[in-house]
Chain A
Amino acid sequence: MQDNYSYLAFLGVAVFNLLIFPGGLFALGLGVLFKGLDRKIEARLQRRVGPPVIQPLIDIVKLSGKEAMIPETAQRPLFQSAPLLGFVGMAVCASLLPIPGVSQGLPYMGDMLVYFYLLQLPAVALMIAGSSSSSPFGTLGFSREMTLMFAYEIPLLMIILAIAMKVGGDNFAEFSLMNIINYQEQNGQFITNWVMLPAFFAYLFFLPGTTGVPPFDIPEAETEIVEGPLLEYSGISLAFFQLTGAIKSIVVLGFGVVVFFPMTLGDNILVNILWFALKCFILMLVSCTFVKSATGRFRIEQAFGFYLKIPALLAAISLILVWLDF
């Protein structure tokens, strides 16, 4: 990789990716925007007026001015750093995301396995938050989050392997997102490939789980365990959790777009960015917004059973089909 960049320039690009685009400001902005749109559309679907689209931003600004409250019995260092942990993971994740037709991501870094691991970070952060707050509700949230995470990670794992093997071909595997995009440019998008379609549906099921929206908002269930792990958070710390959620939605949606339908519209960068955002938005509408406005909440063991039955089965079908070289 040092053929094209000097180390310093390379570092510069990396920092740019991290702070401005595709991570950093871009992802944050887009994420907050999506959050607002999501709430608005959901409200409309439920025949409510709904908050303004910029309400999430308003929330964050408001929160950052608030006093920080810390429980006396909390584990201070962990309690305070938990919000950061998830945020850092997602920020790095976002910076590694290649945008089709726009940016390549960092060479040899944007790899599905990295995503597999980093996507666990917000969940881990939530667990630590719940646990370190010393609140009994936090503890409940902790165990729920842990269970749920295990449930949705398994289908994700199989989806990743199915894609990797499909791209690698001949019993090999390719984890690099850039190469996956290139492969689809040559061989057609996976969303149009019947072999990969079950995996795509599995991914649709994965999305609400990982972003924690109904019917999978079990760990933070407001009406049940009063926000669970987030119960004791306030002020800027809580804002960080919201920011993490915003970036994470972009990361998982973007990841879905990249691996299933990365087709570009011409060569114009701006058009492609908008096109990418639109695809992400559609994915969100289909997988999250519509679903959550229409459903209640699963119990944890229902969610667990569900993930290990339907999405896992779907992903497994794809994996087996790929393995059998269809």
Chain B
Amino acid sequence: MLSTAIIQSFLYVGIIISLGGLILASRLSKTYLAFLGLCIADIGYVCIGLSIPNDSAYIGSIALMSFNAVARLAALIALIRMAKVSRALKLPLAGIAKELPYSSVVFALALFSAIEISPFFTPDAKHHILYGAILLGDPLHISSYGIAVLVTLINIAKLVMTLFIVHSLFQGNSYSHKTENAWNDFKTSPLLLHLFFAVLVIFGLGSHEFIHYLTTTYAQNTFSQQFPDFTLTWKTETLILYMGAALVLAGGFILPSLRKPLAFVIAAVSFIFAALDHSGSALSYFFAVLSGFMAMIITLYSFGYIKHNETSYYALLLLMFASILGLLTSENSGSFFVFWEIMTLSSYVLVAFDDTPKAHYAAKKYFLMSGIGAVIMLPALLMLQLHNAQELYALLTAKEAINVFLYVCLIALFIGFGVKAGVFPFHSWLPDAHPAAPSSVSAPLSGILTKTGLYGMLFFFSTFLGFGLLQNSLVCPFFKLPSIGVVLILLGIITMFYGEIKAYQAIEIKRLFAYSTIGQIGEICMTLGVFSYLATTGALFHIFNHAVMKDLIFLCTGVFILRSGFTKIEDLKGLGKVMPFTASCMVIGLLSILGLPPLAGFNSKFIMLLGLAEYSPYLAALMLLASFIGCVYYTRIIRILVFEKYTGPQVADATPAMKAALGALAFLCVLFGIYPELVLNTLIAPVTDLIADKGGFNLSGQGLDLVSLTTVTWKSPALIIVLGAVLPVILRKNPMQSGIASVFVLGFASVALLVTMGQYDTLSCIFALGITVIGATTACYSIGYLEHNHAQWRYYASFLCMCGGLVGVATSSNLFSFFFFWEIMSSWTLYFVIIHEETRESLWEGFKYFLFNMIGAGFLFLGVILTVHWLGTADFAEMKNSFTQLDAGKVTVLFALLTIGFLMKAAQLPFRIDVQMHPATAPTPVSGYISSVLLKSALFGLAKLFLVFGGISLFAEHINLAYLSEISLYIGAVTIVMAASFAVLQSDIKLVLIYSTVSQLGYMVVGISLGTSLGVAGGILHLVNHLFFKDLLFLVAGVIIAQTHIYSMDKMGGLGLKMPKTLALFAIGAVCVIGLPPSNGFTSKWIIYHALMEQGYVLPAILSLIGSVLTLAYMTKFLHSVFLGQVKPSMETVHEAPKTMLIPMALLSLGCIVTSVFPGFVLLAINKILLSAGLQPLDVAPWGINSGKGAWNATLTAILFFIVWYIGQKVLRKFSKQERQTAIYTCGIPAENFAPSTSQDIYSTKILFGTENK
């Protein structure tokens, strides 16, 4: 043995030589001789290795010396050949790879092998030396790891130089324009090159045996203690893919037509093995199944996508997936790291696959960042390999300050994984690499590769170290950081916002999705940082879903780009129209990533938010805020792709193979949306349990039965409608039939509702019945209204889904289900229906509506999440009990959030800002439906949750609620007058009705907010009445628009002559909305006034009464300007509406009349609701309210009216037997000379609002 002094001196010599070599290399970096510098550096490296007095480093040094000698020689031979061809060793040699592909590849492989990144593996010399260096160190003295740090730094330097040397060969084509076949190059290469290449490969593949040989021969000590186990883990699925890659490469040369099916079969078989192989941990299994599946899908998709270099593409793709599966199933950190490096290498080549300057730049950046990250991570991995977790903690707890050591270790790991995952500040490769890579590579980059980073974190932080131990022992002395979780959360938040904001600004579609991936990773990271049972479940689920969704999105984007040749979002306008299949899949993916049900993203987002809320509601709020940004740009993409006008040439849709891949992913999105248990139970729960087993885990939420928490109650009516939504799609060739089918579906649902009536409470039943019945009439009306319209099937299908969502809301028996349907009803379905006309205005209004609605839903979401979290249950039946135990503050927060959410939905001041809740540009039947039914869902929700939480007893227990409801009462009252005033000012017939709805909703809000028997009864009664009369009025407006194609009152006049039936129907609706006795509108408003005055709310009472005067004003104005007055010349050709439109209207007016004359029938049902709320029921009879405040006999009044009317009519008839038609009297001036009146002539508007003072 050499003396210690000599060994010491070896170290310094080694350092000097290495530095010299590296400096030389950098000085020569303009020529390929730079690689000679690397050779010298290797010598220094070996010296350093030898200076470390233990077996590991010794063996490592020998291995390095021998292997690198071969590798460098191989590289030299290749270089000489290239130099011969190019006659220069100087740059630019760029692009020589095109002429000498084989030699260049050998050169590259040799150089990469020398830094131990090789698909054929290498003896793990670097590992061994570093391991030896770490063995030297003492965890208690961080300074004792100097050599390890040194070695790491040298590794980084080598990596950087190697990359620059190698990459320039492949980049650009400044050297030669000749493109050669690899086979030709192979044939003409010297034998020596082949030989060295073969040795390199054999050496690599046999590296394990080589190391084994070295250890048995040269090891001096008993190395069982000191010697690391770096055995590669070869699971069957990994092996299949790895061998498969070689097979495809070989097969591609022999029989090119075989490579595609071969690649697919290999991927499929590997997936099957991965799915059947339960030998690893649950965590590995989870990720392996996901990756294996994606390998299959991506291969399938690539059939249609990749057009050049197919052989190498498929080989590399399979190699990449092999390495991913390899690292996911690795059993030691050595194996993990080796596969990790192969993954980086193969994906790096794939990123550069398109061979554009952009791609090369992105690939270099990617490789550098990932590679450096990995090198930094390596010592930490070895550290963990050296000491198992328990030992490490035992060491560390001996001395507190040592926590710094663990921190350094963890930060090193975090850098390595963070780079891959794309966590800020290590993300910057991602937005370059994703757009530059072929889409079929961007998809796994985004969907799978980023997830391996997360896998690493989960594996090492959670299952290897055990998060509990980690958390307890990690109190940073400097920053008082309580746990690494906080770091994760903070970085997660930054990453999330960074990603979302950058995505929002992005112009290129793939760059946008790359940033959105960063955003999503941020969300996951942040959730992982909470480290509770629920949060982890949510994060894992989202990892899974994000892989599916993002792959789907990237693959669809790939098809769009492939077909159109454009990458900018704006250039893809309307492309979806000519590629319906891809567009549908894309929309599914986007909606899913938006977190909208019934798609996968919603479920995982819900659980994540639940987990976050458990830790801090603010985090949940932040995440909702970030997803709101997401909403903006995702919706923009949907709009541009699907709803804008298409102007480009006709292009084909995706190829069948692509369609199969896209279809499968889209199907999964839907499947996991509807049936999340499938993943939760089989894949995720075992992982979470595994992590939980590692102790110290915040177990709250483990008791929660997640499956029951996320159960959607599919009651038969909702199911019928949602399934029925398929019918219009099937019948899309015949619009009439699809319309009729929709009517039948809704009618059938009404019947189902009546049959299963017993299952629901009265409130739900009334509301659900309103939804289906009014829905059926609206659908029937639409048949006439949309007669010559486009894409009617889309309209009917969305409309049905929307109705299904509404019925679902009404019939849900748990909060999750309630919100699930709520989001279906108020998000995409409604958006699609609103923008049906696809005009510029409707798109813009629909977009505004969508965003506005999302904000409202955000509040609601937070409210729902907190409710579930604080009450510990989502089941309505169980909520009441737990609610009584909540403290006042929480109750206030809950109610504030829910009320804000609901009031926004109901478009109440100050939440309405504009008429967003209710775009006038929607097809009129939809406007009617929104007004009469959809916006009521807010009030329904308010009432329902109020009942669920315990009804009136809440007010007694929580004084704050009284203030809250008082605020909403005043909001409602002010809204009545404000909106009614706006209505008076409008001249667009739909806007009048829209503002009118907002105003009428104010009455309902006022009534329900009162919380007294009379108030609630009045509010609900008005809700039911409004269902009928407002829908009727909208349908009338629709008839007018359909027949005249005019929206402005100013251009109408005298329509009553042309459309007498419509006028009659309008009159009924108008009387009701004004509330002239004995109409139904009067009865309900009457009750509300009495309820208000009963409680002494004078101001709201005055406001609501003024509101009714204003209602009279705008309705008479409507009547006058549209139906009466002189007939405008442009109105001469107008005809009465067709029967399909008149019949639904007649039915609605019948509903108006019945509820007018016999309000008691509805009131009887309302009484049941009052009872269940703990309120005193009213004394009700069929004709109205019998006694007490608000007593009213509508039937008698109606009879009195009828008697007088009858007598009056008789008298009129009797005395006007003689009739004469005359011209109107105009004081002798010809009638034409009178300027036609417009609604603007009406003094009231001018005087009331000061526009003129004549």
Give the residue of B1119, B1126, B1254 whose beta carbon is less than 8 angstroms from that of A136.
B1126
Complex interface residues of chain A between 56 and 76 (CB less than 8 A to chain B)? 64-65, 67-75
Q: Chain A 206-247, CB within 8 Å of chain B: the 1/0 string?
A: 000000000000000000001000011001110110000000
CB atoms of B1224 and A73 under 8 A apart: yes
Tell me the interface secondary structure of chain A in the complex.
helix
Given A171-B1096, A173-B1094, A70:B1056 Cβ within 8 A:
no
CB atoms of B1093 and A173 under 8 A apart: yes
* Shortest Cβ distance from A74 into B: residue: B1224
CB atoms of A147 and B1244 under 8 A apart: yes
Given A70-B1220, A146-B1116, A131:B1124 Cβ within 8 A:
yes
Give the residue of B1110, B1212, B1241 whose beta carbon is less than 8 angstroms from that of A143.
B1241
Complex interface residues of chain A between 104 and 142 (CB less than 8 A to chain B)? 106, 108-109, 111, 113-114, 116-118, 120-121, 124, 127-128, 131-137, 139, 142
Task: Answer yes or no: B1199 CB below 8 A from chain A CBs.
Answer: yes
Closest chain-A Cβ to B1107's Cβ sits at a distance in Å of: 11
CB atoms of B1054 and A121 under 8 A apart: no
Task: Answer yes or no: A205 CB below 8 A from chain B CBs.
Answer: no
Give the residue of A64, A91, A135, A165 whose beta carbon is less than 8 angstroms from that of B1204.
A91
Task: Answer yes or no: B1248 CB below 8 A from chain A CBs.
Answer: yes
Given A11-B1199, A78-B1056, A301-B1254, A139:B1221 Cβ within 8 A:
no
Given A147-B1243, A161-B1101, A168-B1093, A136:B1226 Cβ within 8 A:
yes
CB atoms of A67 and B1056 under 8 A apart: no
Cβ contacts under 8 Å, B1216 to chain A: 68, 235-237
Task: Answer yes or no: B1028 CB below 8 A from chain A CBs.
Answer: no
Task: Answer yes or no: A35 CB below 8 A from chain B CBs.
Answer: no
Cβ contacts under 8 Å, A255 to chain B: none
CB atoms of B1076 and A134 under 8 A apart: no
Interface size on A, residues (CB 8 A): 85
Task: Answer yes or no: A298 CB below 8 A from chain B CBs.
Answer: no
Closest chain-A Cβ to B76's Cβ sits at a distance in Å of: 99
Complex interface residues of chain B between 1207 and 1245 (CB less than 8 A to chain A)? 1208-1209, 1211-1212, 1215-1216, 1218-1227, 1231, 1234, 1237, 1241-1244
Which of B923-931, B1082-1090, B1151-1159 interfaces with chain A?
B1082-1090
Which of B207-215, B600-608, B1186-1194 interfaces with chain A?
B1186-1194
Closest chain-B Cβ to A55's Cβ sits at a distance in Å of: 20
Closest chain-A Cβ to B260's Cβ sits at a distance in Å of: 74
Task: Answer yes or no: A172 CB below 8 A from chain B CBs.
Answer: yes
Cβ contacts under 8 Å, A74 to chain B: 1224
Task: Answer yes or no: A37 CB below 8 A from chain B CBs.
Answer: no
Closest chain-A Cβ to B667's Cβ sits at a distance in Å of: 58
CB atoms of A15 and B1075 under 8 A apart: no
Task: Answer yes or no: B736 CB below 8 A from chain A CBs.
Answer: no
CB atoms of B1060 and A139 under 8 A apart: no
Q: Chain A 62-103, CB within 8 Å of chain B: the 1/0 string?
A: 001101111111110110100110011101100100000000
Cβ contacts under 8 Å, A301 to chain B: 1243, 1247, 1253-1254
Give the residue of A108, A139, A164, A237 whose beta carbon is less than 8 angstroms from that of B1120.
A139
Task: Answer yes or no: A26 CB below 8 A from chain B CBs.
Answer: no
Q: Chain B 22-48, CB within 8 Å of chain A: the 1/0 string?
A: 000000000000000000000000000
* Shortest Cβ distance from B1081 into A: residue: A117
Cβ contacts under 8 Å, B1220 to chain A: 67-70
Closest chain-B Cβ to A92's Cβ sits at a distance in Å of: 5
Which of A44-52, A151-159, A282-290 interfaces with chain B?
A151-159
Cβ contacts under 8 Å, B1102 to chain A: 157-158, 161
Complex interface residues of chain A between 1 and 31 (CB less than 8 A to chain B)? 1-2, 10-11, 14-15, 18-19
Cβ contacts under 8 Å, B1200 to chain A: 14-15, 18, 92, 95
Q: How far is the CA of A164 from the CA of B1248 in the complex (A)?
A: 27
* Shortest Cβ distance from B1229 into A: residue: A136
Task: Answer yes or no: A276 CB below 8 A from chain B CBs.
Answer: no
Q: How far is the CA of A68 from the CA of B1212 in the complex (A)?
A: 10
* Shortest Cβ distance from B1082 into A: residue: A117
Closest chain-A Cβ to B23's Cβ sits at a distance in Å of: 92
Q: How far is the CA of A140 from the CA of B964 in the complex (A)?
A: 47
Task: Answer yes or no: A144 CB below 8 A from chain B CBs.
Answer: yes
Give the residue of B1054, B1075, B1241, B1253 whose beta carbon is less than 8 angstroms from that of A117.
B1075
Q: How far is the CA of A29 from the CA of B1224 in the complex (A)?
A: 33
CB atoms of A135 and B1225 under 8 A apart: yes
CB atoms of B1224 and A232 under 8 A apart: yes
Closest chain-B Cβ to A70's Cβ sits at a distance in Å of: 6
Q: How far is the CA of A150 from the CA of B1101 in the complex (A)?
A: 17
CB atoms of A67 and B1193 under 8 A apart: no
Closest chain-B Cβ to A62's Cβ sits at a distance in Å of: 11
CB atoms of B1205 and A146 under 8 A apart: no
Cβ contacts under 8 Å, A1 to chain B: 1186-1187
* Shortest Cβ distance from A135 into B: residue: B1224
CB atoms of A75 and B1076 under 8 A apart: no
Task: Answer yes or no: B1109 CB below 8 A from chain A CBs.
Answer: yes
Cβ contacts under 8 Å, A158 to chain B: 1102
Closest chain-A Cβ to B1127's Cβ sits at a distance in Å of: 7
Cβ contacts under 8 Å, A154 to chain B: 1106, 1109
Cβ contacts under 8 Å, A41 to chain B: none
Give the residue of A136, A146, A232 whose beta carbon is less than 8 angstroms from that of B1242.
A146
Give the residue of A18, A71, A73, A87 whose beta carbon is less than 8 angstroms from that of B1203.
A18
Q: How far is the CA of A92 from the CA of B1199 in the complex (A)?
A: 10
Complex interface residues of chain A between 160 and 197 (CB less than 8 A to chain B)? 161, 164-165, 168, 170-173, 175
Task: Answer yes or no: B1196 CB below 8 A from chain A CBs.
Answer: yes
CB atoms of B1096 and A80 under 8 A apart: no
Cβ contacts under 8 Å, B1204 to chain A: 18, 87-88, 91-92
CB atoms of B1243 and A67 under 8 A apart: no
Closest chain-B Cβ to A155's Cβ sits at a distance in Å of: 12
Q: How far is the CA of A226 from the CA of B1226 in the complex (A)?
A: 10
Cβ contacts under 8 Å, B888 to chain A: none
Give the residue of A71, A108, A116 whose beta carbon is less than 8 angstroms from that of B1222.
A71
Q: How far is the CA of A14 from the CA of B1193 in the complex (A)?
A: 12
Question: 14 other contacts beyond A73-B1126, A146-B1244, with CB at 8 A cut-off?
Answer: A18-B1203, A70-B1219, A72-B1223, A75-B1057, A109-B1196, A113-B1089, A114-B1077, A127-B1116, A132-B1124, A134-B1224, A136-B1234, A231-B1225, A240-B1212, A304-B1243
Q: Pull 6 A–B residue pairs with CB atoms less than 8 Å apart, ordered by A.
A: A14-B1196, A108-B1191, A108-B1192, A120-B1109, A127-B1120, A136-B1231
7 closest cross-chain pairs (CB), A and B: A171-B1096, A173-B1093, A131-B1124, A236-B1215, A108-B1191, A68-B1216, A136-B1234
